[in-house]
Amino acid sequence: MSDHPPFAVTVDVVLLTIRAGELSALVVRRGEAPYRGRWALPGGFVRPDEDLDAAAARELREETGLRHGFHLEQLRTYGAPRRDPRMRTVTVAYLALAPDLTSPVASTDAAEAEWRPVDALLSARPGLAFDHGRILGDALERARAKLEYSPLAAAFCPEEFTIGELRRVYETVWGTAIDPRNFHRKVSKTPGFLVPTGETTTRDGGRPAQLFRRGSLDLLNPPLTRG
């Protein structure tokens, strides 16, 4: 009880978005051993004076330039003794959801980061570096589960979005079809979920659709420090 062996502590971020109708994750190509050339989750060491949530937000910012408009939550911590062959490392994994970032892909980090469909990443052989395949699988499971009971899906949408766009998020993440009429009724009747902007758009074709913003009383960017 008196020895405290040193560990390296890292954060890894599973950043999910929807691109071209596919649920995709941001991955980086590893340039050095181990797992050289394989895809890995973006992440890095927690700094000496940095909280875990702050470290995850920093990694996300370094890879994408994102400073706000995303959802970030702690997922789970992984610490199997030999998960990193170089040293004893414990990683705190985070789940992040963001809209399709076609504009601000400006990565300040040197590593080449790319979007890949989650399905492809999970089924590819060889898989992701380290235990990142399992982390990605857990993140996918969490994301799917949370859509059911939280207004989280709107985190995948741009600032202003239509109900049809929001529905396509659910359909993409779950891989199922949803009745557009019932979905419309359900979300538009949930108080505080959607805030109408008063504007309309025809970008999805057909009759003009109302534009909404995420409700302010939701779970997006929940207090990172809950006092």
Partner DNA sequence: TCAAAAGTGTTAATTCTACACCCATGT
Partner DNA sequence: ACATGGGTGTAGAATTAACACTTTTGA
3-state helix/strand/coil string of 61-125: HHHHCCCCCCEEEEEEEECCCCCCCCCCEEEEEEEEECCCCCCCCCCCCCCCEEEEEHHHHHHCC
Catalytic residue at 141?
Answer: no
Query: Token digits for 102?
Result: 């076609």
Residue showing tokens 């109408």? 196
Q: Which chain residues interact with DNA by CB under 7 A?
A: 162-165, 179-182, 184-186, 188, 200, 202, 204-210
Q: Residue 180 binds which entry of a copy of itself, DNA, none, with Cβ cut-offs from 5 to 8 Å by kind?
A: DNA
Query: Cβ–Cβ contacts within 10 Å for residue 50, how many?
Result: 14
Residue 4 interacts with a copy of itself (CB under 8 A): yes or no:
yes
CA distance 41 to 25: 9
User: From the list DNA, a copy of itself, none, which binds 77 (C-beta under 5 to 8 Å, kind-based)?
Assistant: a copy of itself
The minimum distance between CB 84 and a copy of itself, in angstroms, equals: 10
d(CA 214, CA 224): 19
H helix intervals, 65-179: 118-123, 132-149, 163-174
Name which of 52 and 195 has its Cβ closer to a copy of itself: 52
Query: In whole angstroms, how close is the CB of 118 to a copy of itself at the nearest point?
Result: 18
Q: Which of 116, 134, 144, 213 binds a copy of itself (CB under 8 A)?
A: 134
Looking at 112, 114, 159, 199, which residue is catalytic? 112
Taking the complex as a whole, the smallest distance from the CB of residue 168 to DNA amounts, in Å, to: 8
Q: What is the DSSP letter of 26?
A: E
Give min distance, CB of 2 to a copy of itself, in A. Answer: 9
Region 69-128 residues binding a copy of itself, contact defined as CB under 8 A: 74, 76-81, 87-88, 90, 92
The residues annotated as belonging to the active site are 112
